[in-house]
Amino acid sequence: MENEARTVASEDRLATCRICEKLRRPLSHLVGIVGFSSLLQRALSLAQRESPALARVEVTADGSMVGLEDAAVEAVPILVAHLIQLLIAFIGESLTLKLLQDIWPDIQGADEPTGEDGYEK
């Protein structure tokens, strides 16, 4: 039972790592590869403050990451949370949710208005 839980947790962390990869393509079209790399680097900087395990992770010029090993993989959800927060700040909640819905078709809230009048708050 414990090995099964460890396998599921490991798969969840790997899936979280793939989120960054899946976001790279649409965001690179939107802001360019340099823009995506900068955004991911900022998210990484914020995440590193919360998790020292990410200290050896680096964003490459093409927007991929190196150094995602062992404890760093455990902290990737923190990185993804910061990336999503930055996206919301820069492009808005609606567009961010639409991008995320492309990755996770079952994500909740992407088709719901965010404000009283149907627009973002």
Q: What is the pLDDT of residue 85?
A: 95
Q: What is the pLDDT of residue 43?
A: 95
Across 19-51, b (16+ Cβ under 10 Å) vs e yields bbebbbeebbeeeeeeebbebbeebbebbbeeb
What is the pTM assigned to this prediction? Answer: 0.74
Write out pLDDT tens, residues 13-23.
555 567 777 88
Write out pLDDT tens, residues 39-52.
999 999 999 999 99
Q: What is the pLDDT of residue 5?
A: 41
Count of structural domains, the chain: 1
Beta partners for 58?
A: 66
Residue 45 domain boundaries: 2-102
Is 15 among the domain residues? Answer: yes
Q: What is the pLDDT of residue 103?
A: 76
* Helix %, strand %, coil % of the chain (to 5): 70, 5, 30
Is 111 among the domain residues? Answer: no
Write out pLDDT tens, residues 65-114.
888 887 888 888 899 899 999 999 988 999 888 888 887 777 765 455 55
Is 109 among the domain residues? Answer: no
What sign for the dihedral angle of Cα 14, 15, 16, 18?
positive
